[in-house]
């Protein structure tokens, strides 16, 4: 752990990236009303960058002179941080770049990382502007800790880096279908869930994972040779069978598969209560076909307080893993990484413990 701002102040301090379109479109108002004052009072020099389009933040951090910045702070939803992480990993100097401390301030409709960071302080849950205040306070304290990154390989050969979640089935569908309701903020997920429940469906696919307890020396992936970006030493090529110490899930009919890398799926869904930013774990949940609508709704209601595993629901399975592979068999659909839609098809993922740095408690 360390404090991100240096003893001798450099001229620019913190790069603050704001997506004016995120959430209800109020991120600029949050900046003007709260964030600017907080940073000024804490004597943290910063420069504001307003994103003008999708991938603007990604392009900005890919070409930025990072020696100028003590930290990159995102005032938006999780989608903008996803761009920043992947922009950093695309750089020639990625190994150094990904060590830049990252801060999150909730300004979007999906503020899962902000809610997670607050949860890790063990304070009681807060929402909306109180969550912004809490995250702003952590930012001003400036304590930096490690953040796991999960590499996600798609069938095209593309590779993404995720800090939050991989979803397929019900959760992924809700995530994308509810984009049209971003005007109602975090409520969009509740409305989306109710609509999806009405047209509940089953998703066919094959799921396999490496249980956390089957792998010894889990830190071996933290350091990597300079020529390859965080090599996936736990994975076999997608066209080959998974390694023998993996678990193959017998069921092939699911309602959802959700891999969580932080505690919160959204501001008010505590999907993985025990998760921590640098626990080196994939918290894998799946719900098998046959669950009733009522039982599924009950699970999501319980998830608001993180008690869904206490429901005694036989269709819900939770396992801790280091890697996973998912091969959808049903017709093209939706898959999301950190709430953003990605190419549909077979995917596999592996955790890289503490590969990035996060301003948190």
Write out the catalytic residue numbers. Answer: 78
Asked whether 235 and 350 are in contact (CB, 8 A), the reply is yes
Residue 23 as a binder of Mg ion (CB under 5 A): the answer is: no
Q: How many CB atoms lie within 10 A of CB 250?
A: 7
Which region among 103-111, 208-216, 251-259, 303-311 touches Mg ion (by CB under 5 A)?
103-111
Q: Tell the smallest beta-carbon distance from residue 29 to Mg ion (Å).
A: 18
The residue count for binding Mg ion (CB under 5 A) is 4
Of the pair 103, 205, the CB lying nearest ligand ADP is at: 103
Of the pair 114, 242, the CB lying nearest Mg ion is at: 114
Asked whether 69 and 100 are in contact (CB, 8 A), the reply is yes
Q: Tell the smallest beta-carbon distance from residue 107 to ligand ADP (Å).
A: 7
Q: Tell the smallest beta-carbon distance from residue 22 to ligand ADP (Å).
A: 3
Q: Tell the smallest beta-carbon distance from residue 267 to ligand ADP (Å).
A: 10
Dihedral sign for Cα 197, 201, 202, 203, please. Answer: negative
Q: Which of 358, 348, 354 is nearest to 160 (CA)?
A: 348
Q: Tell the smallest beta-carbon distance from residue 23 to ligand ADP (Å).
A: 4
Q: Which of 104, 74, 100 is nearest to 89 (CA)?
A: 100
Q: From the list Mg ion, ligand ADP, none, which binds 76 (C-beta under 5 to 8 Å, kind-based)?
A: ligand ADP
Among 77, 280, 328, 354, binds Mg ion (CB under 5 A): 77
DSSP assignment of 317-344: EEEEEEEEEEEE-SSS--EEETTEEE--
- Of all residues in the shown chain, the one whose CB is closest to ligand ADP is 77
Of the pair 101, 339, the CB lying nearest Mg ion is at: 339
C-alpha separations of 156 from 127, 152, 335, 345 in Å: 39, 12, 14, 9
Instruction: Kindly state the DSSP code that residue 220 receives in the 8-state scheme.
Output: G
Q: From the list ligand ADP, Mg ion, none, which binds 182 (C-beta under 5 to 8 Å, kind-based)?
A: ligand ADP
- Who contacts 324 (Cβ-Cβ below 8 Å, separation ≥6)? 166, 207, 208, 209, 210, 259, 282, 284, 348, 349
Q: From the list ligand ADP, Mg ion, none, which binds 22 (C-beta under 5 to 8 Å, kind-based)?
A: ligand ADP
Residue 339 as a binder of Mg ion (CB under 5 A): the answer is: yes
Give the helix ranges, DSSP H, for 90-230: 94-97, 112-120, 128-141, 170-177, 187-198
Q: Which residues contact ligand ADP (rule: CB under 6 A)?
A: 19-23, 51-54, 56, 76-80, 83, 108-110, 182, 340
**Which tokens in the block code for residue 168?**
């397929």
**Strand 253-260 relative to strand 282-288: parallel, antiparallel, unpaired?**
antiparallel
**Which tokens in the block code for residue 185?**
């903020």
d(CA 262, CA 269): 11
Among 15, 16, 31, 79, binds Mg ion (CB under 5 A): 79
- Of all residues in the shown chain, the one whose CB is closest to Mg ion is 79
Of the pair 246, 261, the CB lying nearest ligand ADP is at: 261
Of the pair 53, 244, the CB lying nearest ligand ADP is at: 53
Q: From the list ligand ADP, Mg ion, none, which binds 83 (C-beta under 5 to 8 Å, kind-based)?
A: ligand ADP
Residue 136 as a binder of Mg ion (CB under 5 A): the answer is: no
State how far Cα 277 lies from the chain centre. Answer: 10
State how far Cα 34 lies from the chain centre. Answer: 25
Q: Tell the smallest beta-carbon distance from residue 186 to Mg ion (Å).
A: 11
Q: Tell the smallest beta-carbon distance from residue 25 to ligand ADP (Å).
A: 9
DSSP assignment of 23-54: TTT-HHHHIIIIIHHHHHHTT--EEEEE--ST
Among 87, 110, 142, 185, binds Mg ion (CB under 5 A): 110
Interface contacts to Mg ion, rule CB under 5 A: 77, 79, 110, 339
């Amino acid at each position: 752990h360390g404090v991100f701002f240096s003893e001798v102040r450099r001229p620019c301090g913190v790069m603050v990236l704001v997506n004016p379109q995120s959430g209800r479109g109020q991120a600029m108002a949050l900046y003007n009303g709260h964030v600017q004052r907080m940073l000024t009072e804490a004597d943290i020099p910063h420069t504001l960058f307003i994103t003008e389009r999708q991938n603007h933040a990604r392009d900005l951090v890919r070409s930025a002179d990072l020696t100028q910045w003590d930290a990159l702070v995102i005032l938006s939803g999780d989608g903008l941080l996803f761009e920043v992480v992947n922009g950093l990993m695309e750089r020639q100097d990625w190994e150094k770049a990904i060590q830049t401390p990252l801060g999150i301030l909730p300004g979007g409709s999906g503020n899962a990382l902000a809610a997670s960071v607050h949860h890790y302080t063990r304070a009681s849950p807060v929402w909306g502007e109180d969550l912004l205040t809490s995250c702003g306070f952590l930012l001003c304290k400036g304590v930096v800790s490690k953040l796991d990154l999960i590499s996600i390989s798609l069938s095209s050969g593309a590779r993404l880096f995720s800090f939050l979640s991989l979803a397929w089935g019900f959760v992924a569908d809700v995530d994308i279908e509810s984009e049209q309701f971003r005007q109602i903020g975090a409520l969009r997920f509740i409305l989306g869930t109710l609509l999806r429940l009405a047209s509940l469906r089953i998703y066919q696919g094959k799921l396999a994972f490496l249980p956390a307890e089957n792998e010894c020396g889990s830190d071996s992936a933290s350091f990597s040779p300079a020529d390859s970006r965080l090599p996936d030493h736990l994975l076999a090529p997608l066209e080959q069978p998974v390694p023998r110490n993996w678990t193959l899930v017998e069921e092939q009919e699911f309602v959802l598969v959700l891999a969580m890398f932080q505690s919160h799926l959204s501001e008010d869904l505590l999907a993985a209560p025990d998760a921590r930013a640098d626990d080196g774990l994939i918290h894998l949940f799946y719900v098998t076909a046959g669950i009733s609508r009522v039982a599924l709704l009950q699970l999501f209601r319980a998830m608001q307080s993180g008690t869904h595993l206490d429901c005694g629901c036989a269709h819900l399975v939770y396992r801790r893993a280091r890697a996973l592979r998912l091969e959808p068999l049903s017709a093209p659909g939706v898959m999301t990484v950190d709430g953003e839609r990605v190419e549909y098809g077979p995917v596999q993922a592996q955790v890289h413990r503490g590969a990035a740095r996060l301003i948190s408690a």
